């Protein structure tokens, strides 16, 4: 049998005093006789009274909750970003409600509806690979709901955002491969409508031009961040008349699958094909050869996004801002040709 929930009304009835007196005592108010206040607190403790947070929040017109939408949680980047968000929210005394879009536009819209219906105080989003429309986010800002994008952002929405230096780090990674003597560098990038995909592609292209290397469209592959087409586009690259001597992959899991396929085809990594991944997953250190990658400061990005959102919630006149948190190149065996 479920235990009856103790209310302020119950405490007031048992002590023969008004509900408002009990409420003020439990709220820590000082306008109550000390002896009466202590009796209320003692009885509340004895009865294991828990305040009705929902009722309090509704009265104050806030839920003290942050909504978060990420493409997936199995990905180490997003898992660490959520960790950063949670830590910052804990420090601010706020709760976090996490939703996962599974890289689906439809699921993302449902997530948004659920969070808004739950009356969250603000929302942090990293958009899905399918999301190429921003109207659902524009409606949030029109309603005055604080919004912060991180990693995957919309440029046409007036909202705060936290990103990494996608252009610069893609250029640095490409130049690293060039410094290893690679001249036919393939680049696997994300959907063209995503800001970070375009920034990384532009960094790759400008690195080639800077070093007077020919840009070949056949070496550029557009894919998804979670794709079942890795084997297909790997075989496409290997069957080109001039096979690439280096591949800058969309992420580490794709890079490792490509290495597996190339090894099965008798190619040596990095002697025949150098490989560079993205995200610096934990397993990069433990594979053979160890995988070079781009390390995203995911925890810092998540924490920064949460800090910005909390500031927006507390200061409604705060203007949108953009923060750039730098990623870094981690060089291991898979790209160290020389």
pLDDT at 185: 98
pLDDT at 53: 59
Are 31 and 80 members of one domain?
no
Query: How many distinct structural domains can be found in the chain?
Result: 3
Asked if residue 3 is part of any domain, the answer here is no
Are 270 and 309 members of one domain?
no
Quick: pLDDT tens for 233-249. 999 999 999 999 999 99
Instruction: Report which DSSP code applies to 188.
Output: E
Share of the chain above pLDDT 70, in %: 96
Are 308 and 277 members of one domain?
no
pLDDT at 336: 94
Quick: pLDDT tens for 146-191. 999 999 998 888 899 999 999 999 999 999 999 999 999 999 999 9
CATH code of the domain containing 142:
3.40.50.2300
Are 73 and 137 members of one domain?
yes
Asked if residue 1 is part of any domain, the answer here is no
Share of the chain above pLDDT 90, in %: 68
Quick: pLDDT tens for 15-26. 989 988 888 888
Are 97 and 118 contacting, i.e. CB atoms less than 8 angstroms apart?
yes
Are 90 and 237 members of one domain?
no
Beta bridge partners of 164: 325
pLDDT at 1: 42
Are 226 and 316 members of one domain?
no
Are 137 and 43 members of one domain?
no
Are 260 and 307 members of one domain?
no
Asked if residue 56 is part of any domain, the answer here is no
Phi-psi region of 150 (alpha: psi -120 to 50; beta: other; left: phi over 0): beta
d(CA 163, CA 325): 6
Asked if residue 140 is part of any domain, the answer here is yes
Of 211, 265, 222, 210, give the one whose Cα is nearest residue 243.
265
pLDDT at 156: 86
Average pLDDT over residues 270-298: 95
Structure tokens, 258: 């490509």
Are 180 and 245 members of one domain?
yes
pLDDT at 224: 81
3-state secondary structure at position 123: strand
pLDDT at 34: 86
Average pLDDT over residues 199-203: 97
Of 25, 150, 166, 156, give the one whose Cα is nearest residue 85.
150
Are 120 and 209 members of one domain?
no
Are 173 and 155 members of one domain?
no
Strand order in the sheet with 274-276: 220-222, 185-189, 246-248, 274-276
d(CA 146, CA 312): 6
Are 175 and 283 members of one domain?
yes
User: Whole domain around residue 218: which residue ranges?
Assistant: 166-296+330-335
pLDDT at 8: 87
Quick: pLDDT tens for 64-109. 899 999 999 888 899 999 999 999 999 999 999 999 999 999 999 9
Q: Is the pLDDT of residue 205 over 80?
A: yes
Average pLDDT over residues 260-266: 96
d(CA 121, CA 98): 13
d(CA 67, CA 62): 13
CATH code of the domain containing 27:
1.10.260.40
Quick: pLDDT tens for 13-65. 999 899 888 888 887 787 888 888 898 888 888 888 877 655 555 555 678 89
């Amino acid at each position: 049998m479920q235990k009856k929930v103790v209310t302020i009304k119950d405490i007031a009835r048992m002590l023969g005093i008004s509900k408002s007196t009990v409420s003020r005592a439990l709220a820590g108010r000082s306008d109550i006789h000390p002896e009466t206040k202590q009796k209320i607190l003692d009885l509340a403790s004895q009865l294991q009274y828990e305040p009705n947070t929902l009722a309090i929040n509704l009265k104050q017109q806030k839920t003290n909750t942050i909504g978060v939408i990420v493409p997936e949680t199995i990905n180490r980047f997003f898992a660490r970003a959520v960790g950063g968000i949670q830590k910052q929210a804990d420090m601010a005394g706020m709760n976090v409600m996490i939703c996962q879009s599974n890289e689906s536009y439809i699921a993302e819209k449902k997530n948004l509806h659920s969070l808004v219906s739950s009356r969250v105080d603000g929302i942090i989003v990293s958009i899905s690979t399918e999301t190429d429309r921003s109207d659902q986010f524009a409606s949030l800002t029109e309603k005055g709901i604080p919004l912060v994008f991180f990693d995957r952002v919309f440029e046409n929405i007036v909202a705060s955002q936290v990103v990494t230096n996608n252009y610069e780090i893609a250029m640095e990674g490409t130049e690293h491969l060039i410094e290893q003597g690679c001249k036919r560098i393939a680049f696997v990038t994300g959907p063209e409508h995503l800001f970070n995909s375009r920034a990384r592609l532009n960094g790759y292209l400008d690195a080639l031009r800077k070093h007077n290397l020919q840009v070949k469209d056949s070496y550029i592959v557009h894919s998804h961040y979670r794709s079942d087409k890795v084997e297909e586009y790997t075989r496409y690259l290997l069957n080109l008349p001039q096979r690439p001597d280096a591949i800058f992959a969309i992420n580490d899991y794709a890079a490792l699958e490509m290495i597996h396929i190339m090894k099965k085809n008798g190619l040596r990594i990095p002697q025949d094909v150098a490989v560079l991944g993205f995200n610096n997953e934990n397993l990069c250190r433990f594979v053979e050869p160890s995988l070079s990658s781009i390390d995203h400061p995911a925890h810092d990005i998540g924490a920064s996004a949460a800090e910005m959102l909390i500031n927006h919630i507390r200061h409604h006149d705060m203007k949108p801002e953009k923060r750039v948190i730098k990623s870094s190149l981690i060089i291991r065996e898979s790209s160290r040709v020389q």
